[in-house]
């Protein structure tokens, strides 16, 4: 068999071709997709409307896979084993895989043709276009996708109604009690919920513009947009026309190996009817893709149906359901004030866990789902609260840990034992567990811990604590010196790892001069000399140029200083100027000249805020929508000198063209018509990462408050030398957790974070100026303590392109 | 053969100038010597040349301990050297010269190179020991 053709290019098709390649298939693969783009992440679809780019959502086409995009398969000639496309092409196959997905169900009511659906990028573009000038929207369907769509409409600034046929929202995931709590949450957000209501008609005006939605009782909801999200129908028309068996209520009938009634044709994903059921969740569809790939290559994999457990966060509310939705016995916890509903179903002998429902707090989900069908791991009352009762117990090997990718506890244990995987990213890479929705990551951590993988958090031989723990010790106990800390909480006298770490924490918390008293002995050479050491032991000097804006006069001063001290001069990537080749005794003289001209330290040497780059913004640029330079300067002056676990870089772009490259920064800001979008967790460097959208359309005050808290929370909790990019990826709960902490104040920390930043801003002083004004500190800037006037004779330069460069010394 | 010469002590600086757990560089007999004061008040002297980078920078490293032994880490690439033996604790086989150091009349003094016992072995131009430490 040499050629596999896939009809349809959604996530299931993508996983299928990936699986085929991973299993070593070297024949020809052709994917024919209706949309003009490769498959993309539909689970994250709504984020497209809040700033995530299509490129970020799109899956990479696996190497060597041919794609025919913007067309579709229109017919199958099973005898000749050829498919025809809408463009008139014919493509022969040895094996055909139907992955045609599903279509949103639109009820046949008058005016339905004027309504939108919510499935593809094109659908979202259409909704966004229609929202311009609209003030109200209706979503028909209060299930999982319907609430996603409602969130999207709300995000577009519309007053949003949700109409659901069933008596409560999300009837497939929650029971009546859970539905009531869910409704409360959603109404608190300003959305209107109309449960137990149907649709009579989509009302339009004479021009065909939507004006509202009429319910069967005759009442009218005013709306300029109506979105139908009331279920899906498998797209089985190709199979039907080709005489391949389809189910009575739709779906291409497949066996346990995903094969249709034609042995050369398989079906996977939402178009397949497996075991009498159509699956609309990403997890089972991925499993089908894997099974089909295995079978085509001669394997014996079987699709045994799927766990339809779900845990998600919709409109800020956690909802989870696992296992059965009924049982002989049940234990229910309900807190209508806090908006929490949790219910467990157990067998009549009160020994076996059958399932559960959570609304408002899904903590028990991760620990309890693997116990479905197994003996209750603890008393039901304990399990309802956070599920910690289960956390201490061992999962059986066959328990499914990741339902999105069908990974069992045993598979994770095997990866740890056989492949030496020792951390969560390793488990993800090895097993795919945790790579889709991420809700099982806490389970993965537990499995790692229980497998005896010791993830030492000790900073070095002198402290058994992590950086975050040391930060808390120093903060809570009011420690002000390293000696006090190591005497009370460590051993020995420290090293080049713990000393700079503690120096940074002390600076973050107290903001005194880094060379004051004992602190001077803690600093790396760069901080000790307030300059950047270079390969020959000389230093480079970078004055701060906030936002990259500089007057000609100040530019001339930098030129004069460089000329007079004979320094190599280079423009940096952060829109400032680096002066190289200064000996230690020259540093104070150089600073003096710069400080007298109004410059200050640029902290290019510190694990601290470096620069805030900017584009020229609305002041000059014909495209700019906000004053990016003004904001960049304000931010750079606010956060200058802020010591952090690692360097911090920022940028501000004045429009969506993003000339300042803000998304490659720890915190980047992009102007919108309404204000500012904040992105966090980006960096260039060894492992580039684009920053993630954190908040949209903020006012300048809101923006600054959010950044204040983000930075302070990062400083408080990150590991040593962990950039924000690695921090947001490693912190438990990810960016949602960070958002919860600093936007919703879920830990009650915000006032403290705000106060810490206010302290930093009010106590900032220029380290260069303070040093040249202090004779004691100044006296340390000599090459030789017993010959202060003598320059280091080992430092020699040669010339290249009219500037100095260090003479290479071979050790 | 062991060369026995009287020690020639060079005054480096007042003891109070040498801050706890920081180093200074001094010219001793024409050589760059890094002089350190540890937390317990002891003074040590080693060559200032970092054998890994070829730069004279060891006096600007961070002073600490490893298993109780006083150390300095090169400020360029962080290799750790014993202040007692000069041996690099991260790369066995590499060492920097050590010099006798003492405090006399409130001043730090370092003995010139000639006083080094020969058992430290010949040292090449970069300061890297040509034989393994005994």
**Higher-confidence residue: A161 or A385?**
A161
Q: B66 in contact with A at a CB cutoff of 8 Å? A: yes
Please give the Cα distance from A778 to A151 (Å, whole number): 60
Our CA angle for A483, A489, A495, nearest 5°, is 55
Candidates A463, A481, A495: best to mutate against B (most CBs of B within 10 A) is: A495
Choose the weakest-confidence range: A340-354, A628-642, B117-131: B117-131
Q: B41 in contact with A at a CB cutoff of 8 Å? A: no
Q: What is the mean pLDDT of residues B61-68?
A: 94
Q: Inform me whether the pLDDT recorded for A337 exceeds 90.
A: no
Q: Find the helix or strand (DSSP H, E) in which A252 lies.
A: strand A252-254
Domains of chain A with bracketed CATH:
3-102+233-296 (3.50.50.60), 112-230 (3.50.50.60), 408-455 (1.10.10), 467-529 (no CATH), 607-780 (3.30.413.10)
Q: Inform me whether the pLDDT recorded for A309 exceeds 90.
A: no
The two structure tokens encoding residue A403: 């339902």
What pLDDT score was predicted for residue A607? 95
Please give the Cα distance from A796 to B1 (Å, whole number): 38
Q: Hey, are the CB atoms on B75 and A525 less than 8 Å from each other?
A: yes
Choose the weakest-confidence range: A86-90, A251-255, A710-714: A86-90
What pLDDT score was predicted for residue A259? 96
What pLDDT score was predicted for residue B122? 39
3-class DSSP state for residue A541?
strand
Cross-chain CB nearest to A794 (options B56, B71, B73): B56
Our CA angle for A221, A314, A426, nearest 5°, is 155
What pLDDT score was predicted for residue A335? 85
Burial environment of residue B122 by CB neighbours within 10 A (0 to 12, 13 to 18, 19 or more): exposed
Cross-chain CB nearest to B27 (options A498, A536, A787): A787
Per DSSP, the residues of B5-40 read: ----EEEEEEGGGS-TTEEEEEEETTEEEEEEE-TT
A127 close to A152: Cβ distance less than 8 angstroms: yes
What pLDDT score was predicted for residue B118? 40
Please give the Cα distance from A803 to A516 (Å, whole number): 36
Q: A481 in contact with B at a CB cutoff of 8 Å? A: no
3-class DSSP state for residue A30?
strand
Mean pLDDT computed over every residue of chain A: 90
**Contact partners, residue A725, CB within 8 Å, separation at least 6:** A666, A681, A682, A683, A687, A689, A691
**Closest chain A CA to residue B34:** A784
Q: Hey, are the CB atoms on A525 and B19 less than 8 Å from each other?
A: no
**Contact partners, residue B97, CB within 8 Å, separation at least 6:** B46, B47, B86, B113, B116, B120, B123, B127
Q: Hey, are the CB atoms on A537 and B52 less than 8 Å from each other?
A: no
Give B4's pLDDT tier (boundaries 50, 70, 90): low
> Tokens 């519309």 map to which residue?
A158
Q: B129 in contact with A at a CB cutoff of 8 Å? A: no
Q: Inform me whether the pLDDT recorded for A268 exceeds 90.
A: yes
Q: Hey, are the CB atoms on A495 and B56 less than 8 Å from each other?
A: no
Handedness of CA A484, A490, A494, A500 (dihedral sign): negative
Q: Hey, are the CB atoms on A495 and B53 less than 8 Å from each other?
A: no
Give B6's pLDDT tier (boundaries 50, 70, 90): low
Q: Inform me whether the pLDDT recorded for A810 exceeds 70.
A: no
Domains of chain B with bracketed CATH:
12-116 (2.102.10.10)
Maximum mean pLDDT: which of A92-106, A143-157, A352-366: A92-106
Please give the Cα distance from B103 to B35 (Å, whole number): 12
**Contact partners, residue A125, CB within 8 Å, separation at least 6:** none
Q: Inform me whether the pLDDT recorded for A674 exceeds 50.
A: yes
**β-pair type (A568-571, A116-117):** unpaired
Burial environment of residue B118 by CB neighbours within 10 A (0 to 12, 13 to 18, 19 or more): exposed
The interface residues of chain A toward chain B in range 734-793, judged by CB-CB distance below 8 A, are 779, 783-787, 790, 792
Q: Hey, are the CB atoms on B64 and A524 less than 8 Å from each other?
A: no
What pLDDT score was predicted for residue B126? 39
Q: What is the mean pLDDT of residues A197-206?
A: 91
What pLDDT score was predicted for residue A388? 44
What pLDDT score was predicted for residue A616? 96
**Contact partners, residue A337, CB within 8 Å, separation at least 6:** none
Across A71-101, b (16+ Cβ under 10 Å) vs e yields ebbeebeeeebebebeeeeebebebbbbbbb
What pLDDT score was predicted for residue A404? 74
Cross-chain CB nearest to A533 (options B38, B75, B80): B75
**Closest chain B CA to residue A526:** B75
Q: Looking at this predicted complex, what is its ipTM?
A: 0.84
A370, A378, A418, A427: which is closest to A397 by C-alpha?
A: A370
A767 close to A641: Cβ distance less than 8 angstroms: yes
**β-pair type (A3-7, A28-33):** parallel
Q: A689 in contact with B at a CB cutoff of 8 Å? A: no
Of all residues in chain B, the percent with pLDDT exceeding 90 is 69
Of all residues in chain A, the percent with pLDDT exceeding 70 is 97
Annotated binding site of A for [4Fe-4S] cluster: 615, 621, 655, 659
B23 close to B36: Cβ distance less than 8 angstroms: yes
The two structure tokens encoding residue A125: 């573009």
A692 close to A679: Cβ distance less than 8 angstroms: yes
**Contact partners, residue A156, CB within 8 Å, separation at least 6:** A49, A127, A128, A131, A137
What does the pLDDT look like over A48-67, one tens digit per residue? 888 788 888 899 898 889 99
Choose the weakest-confidence range: A192-201, A267-276, A327-336, A763-772: A327-336
Q: A301 in contact with B at a CB cutoff of 8 Å? A: no
Neighbours of A286 (CB within 10 A): 26
B128, B113, B90: which is closest to B9 by C-alpha?
A: B113
What does the pLDDT look like over B75-134, one tens digit per residue? 999 999 999 999 999 888 899 999 999 999 999 999 976 444 344 443 433 333 333 333
Annotated binding site of A: 615, 621, 655, 659
A339 close to A184: Cβ distance less than 8 angstroms: yes
What does the pLDDT look like over A501-540, one tens digit per residue? 999 999 999 888 999 989 999 999 999 999 999 999 999 9
**Contact partners, residue A716, CB within 8 Å, separation at least 6:** A468, A471, A472, A475, A753
Q: Hey, are the CB atoms on A790 and B68 less than 8 Å from each other?
A: no
A65 close to A29: Cβ distance less than 8 angstroms: yes
Output phi, psi for A195, to 5 deg. -90, 155
Q: Please list the alpha-helical segments (H only) found in A95-175.
A: 121-131, 144-155
Please give the Cα distance from A450 to A800 (Å, whole number): 59
Q: What is the mean pLDDT of residues A60-83?
A: 93
A19 close to A285: Cβ distance less than 8 angstroms: no
Q: How many secondary structure helices (H) and strands (E) does chain B include?
A: 0, 10
What pLDDT score was predicted for residue B127? 37
The interface residues of chain A toward chain B in range 483-522, judged by CB-CB distance below 8 A, are 483, 492-496, 498-500, 518, 520-522
What pLDDT score was predicted for residue B130? 34
How does DSSP classify residue A320? E
**Contact partners, residue A772, CB within 8 Å, separation at least 6:** A588, A591, A592, A595, A778
Mean pLDDT computed over every residue of chain B: 83
Q: Inform me whether the pLDDT recorded for A548 exceeds 70.
A: yes
Candidates B21, B52, B61: best to mutate against A (most CBs of A within 10 A) is: B21
What pLDDT score was predicted for residue B119? 40
Helices A750-763 & A700-717, crossing angle to 10 degrees?
100
Q: B78 in contact with A at a CB cutoff of 8 Å? A: yes
What pLDDT score was predicted for residue A385? 66
Please give the Cα distance from A515 to A471 (Å, whole number): 20
Q: Hey, are the CB atoms on A785 and B12 less than 8 Å from each other?
A: yes
Q: What is the mean pLDDT of residues A302-307?
A: 85
A·B CB contacts under 8 A: 109
The two structure tokens encoding residue A303: 């699709």
**Higher-confidence residue: A49 or A295?**
A295
Compute CA distances A249 → A232, A265, A267, whole Å.
12, 20, 16
Q: Please list the alpha-helical segments (H only) found in A33-165.
A: 54-57, 121-131, 144-155
Please give the Cα distance from A48 to A498 (Å, whole number): 43
What does the pLDDT look like over A556-607, one tens digit per residue? 999 999 999 999 999 999 999 999 999 999 999 999 999 999 999 999 999 9
What does the pLDDT look like over A461-487, one tens digit per residue? 999 999 999 999 999 888 999 999 999
Candidates A460, A492, A526, A527: best to mutate against B (most CBs of B within 10 A) is: A492
What pLDDT score was predicted for residue A406? 78
Q: B21 in contact with A at a CB cutoff of 8 Å? A: yes
The two structure tokens encoding residue A734: 């990810």
Please give the Cα distance from A576 to A556 (Å, whole number): 14
Across A238-265, b (16+ Cβ under 10 Å) vs e yields bbeebebebeeebbbbbeebbbbebeeb
Distance from CA of B7 to the nearest CA of A (A): 19
**Contact partners, residue A642, CB within 8 Å, separation at least 6:** A508, A608, A609, A648, A711, A715, A760
What pLDDT score was predicted for residue A64? 86
Q: Inform me whether the pLDDT recorded for A399 exceeds 80.
A: no
What does the pLDDT look like over A163-183, one tens digit per residue? 999 999 998 889 999 999 999
Report, in angstroms and rounded to the nearest whole number, the Rg of chain A calculated over CA atoms.
31
What pLDDT score was predicted for residue A588? 96
Q: B73 in contact with A at a CB cutoff of 8 Å? A: yes
What pLDDT score was predicted for residue B3? 53
The interface residues of chain B toward chain A in range 83-122, judged by CB-CB distance below 8 A, are none
Strand partners, A578: A570
Cross-chain CB nearest to B19 (options A483, A521, A533): A521
What pLDDT score was predicted for residue A74? 94
């Amino acid at each position: 068999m040499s050629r596999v053709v896939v009809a349809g290019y959604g996530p299931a098709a993508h996983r299928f071709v990936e699986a085929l390649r991973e299993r070593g298939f070297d024949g020809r693969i052709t994917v024919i997709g209706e949309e003009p783009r490769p498959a993309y992440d539909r689970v994250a679809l709504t984020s497209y409307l809040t700033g995530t780019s299509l490129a970020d959502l799109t899956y990479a086409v696996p190497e060597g896979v041919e794609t025919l995009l913007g067309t579709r398969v229109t017919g199958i000639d099973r005898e000749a084993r050829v498919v025809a496309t809408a463009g008139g092409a014919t493509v022969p196959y040895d094996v055909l895989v139907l992955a045609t997905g599903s279509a949103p169900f639109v009820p046949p009511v008058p005016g339905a043709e004027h309504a939108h659906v919510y499935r593809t990028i094109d659908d979202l573009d259409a909704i966004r276009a229609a929202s311009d000038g609209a003030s109200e929207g209706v979503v028909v369907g209060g299930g999982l996708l319907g609430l996603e769509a409602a969130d999207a409409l709300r995000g577009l600034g519309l007053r949003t109604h949700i109409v659901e046929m069933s008596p409560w929202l999300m009837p497939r995931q929650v029971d009546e009690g859970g539905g009531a709590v869910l409704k409360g949450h959603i109404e608190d957000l300003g959305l209107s919920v109309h449960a137990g209501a149907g649709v009579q008609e989509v009302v339009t005006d004479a021009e065909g513009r939507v004006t509202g939605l009429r319910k069967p009782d005759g009442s009218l909801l005013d709306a300029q947009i109506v979105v139908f999200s009331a279920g899906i129908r498998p797209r089985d028309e190709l199979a039907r026309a080709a005489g391949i068996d389809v189910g009575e209520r739709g779906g291409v009938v497949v066996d346990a190996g995903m094969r249709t009634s034609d042995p050369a044709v398989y079906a996977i994903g939402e178009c397949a009817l497996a075991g009498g059921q159509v699956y609309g969740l990403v997890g089972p569809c991925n499993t089908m893709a894997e099974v089909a790939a295995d079978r085509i290559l001669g394997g014996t994999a079987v699709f045994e149906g799927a766990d339809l457990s779900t845990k998600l966060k919709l409109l800020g509310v956690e909802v989870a359901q696992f296992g059965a939705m009924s049982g002989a016995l049940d234990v229910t916890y309900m807190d209508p004030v806090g908006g929490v509903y949790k219910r467990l179903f157990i067998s009549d002998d009160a020994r076996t866990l059958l399932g559960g429902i959570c609304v408002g707090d899904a903590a028990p989900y991760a620990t309890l789902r693997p116990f479905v069908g197994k003996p209750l791991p603890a008393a039901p009352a304990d399990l309802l609260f956070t599920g910690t009762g289960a956390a201490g117990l061992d999962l059986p090997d066959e328990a499914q840990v990741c339902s999105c990718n069908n990974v069992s506890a045993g598979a994770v244990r095997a990866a740890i034992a056989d492949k030496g995987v020792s951390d969560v990213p390793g488990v993800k890479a090895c097993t795919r567990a945790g790579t889709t929705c991420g809700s099982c990551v806490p389970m993965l951590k537990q499995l790692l811990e229980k497998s005896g993988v010791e993830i030492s958090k000790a900073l070095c031989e002198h402290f058994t604590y992590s950086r975050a723990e040391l930060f808390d010790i120093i903060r809570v106990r009011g420690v002000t010196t390293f000696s006090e800390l190591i005497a009370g909480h460590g051993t020995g006298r420290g090293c080049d790892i713990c000393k700079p770490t503690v120096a940074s924490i002390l600076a973050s918390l107290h903001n005194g001069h880094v060379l004051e008293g004992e602190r001077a002995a803690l600093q790396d050479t760069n901080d000790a000399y307030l300059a950047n050491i270079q390969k020959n032991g000389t230093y480079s000097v970078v004055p701060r140029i906030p936002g990259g804006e500089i007057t000609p006069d100040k530019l001339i001063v930098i030129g004069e200083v460089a000329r007079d001290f004979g320094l190599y001069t280079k423009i940096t990537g952060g829109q400032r100027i680096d002066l190289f080749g200064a000996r230690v005794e020259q540093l104070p003289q150089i600073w003096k000249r710069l400080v007298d001209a109004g410059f200050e330290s640029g902290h290019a040497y510190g694990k601290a805020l470096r620069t805030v780059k900017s584009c020229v913004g609305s002041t000059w640029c014909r495209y700019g929508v906000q004053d990016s330079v003004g904001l960049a300067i304000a931010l750079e002056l606010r956060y200058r000198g802020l010591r952090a676990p690692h360097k911090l870089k920022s940028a501000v772009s004045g429009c969506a063209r993003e000339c300042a490259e803000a998304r490659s920064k720890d915190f980047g800001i992009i102007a919108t018509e309404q204000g500012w979008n904040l992105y966090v967790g980006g960096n260039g460097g060894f492992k580039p990462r684009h920053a993630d959208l954190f908040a949209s359309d903020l006012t300048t005050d809101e923006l600054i408050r959010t950044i204040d808290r983000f930075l302070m929370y990062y400083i408080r909790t990150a590991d040593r030398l962990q950039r924000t990019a690695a921090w947001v990826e490693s912190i438990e709960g990810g960016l949602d957790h960070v958002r919860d902490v600093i936007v919703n104040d879920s830990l009650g920390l915000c006032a403290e974070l705000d106060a810490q930043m206010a302290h930093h801003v009010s106590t900032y002083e220029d380290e260069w100026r303070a040093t040249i004004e202090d004779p004691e500190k100044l006296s340390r800037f000599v090459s030789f303590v017993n010959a202060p006037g003598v320059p280091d004779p080992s430092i020699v330069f040669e010339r290249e392109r009219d500037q100095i460069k260090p003479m290479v010394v071979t050790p | 053969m062991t060369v026995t010469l009287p020690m020639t002590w060079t005054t480096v600086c007042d003891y109070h100038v040498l801050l706890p757990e920081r180093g200074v560089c001094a010219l001793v007999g024409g050589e760059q010597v890094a002089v350190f004061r540890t937390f317990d008040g002891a003074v040590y002297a080693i060559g200032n040349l970092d054998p890994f980078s070829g730069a004279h920078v060891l006096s600007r490293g961070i002073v600490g301990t490893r298993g109780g032994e006083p150390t300095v880490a090169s400020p360029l690439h962080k290799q750790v050297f014993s202040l007692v033996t000069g041996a690099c604790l991260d790369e066995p086989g590499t060492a920097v010269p050590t010099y006798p150091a003492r405090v006399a009349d409130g001043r730090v003094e370092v003995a010139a190179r000639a006083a080094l016992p020969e058992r430290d072995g010949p040292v090449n131009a970069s300061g890297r020991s040509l034989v393994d430490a005994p």
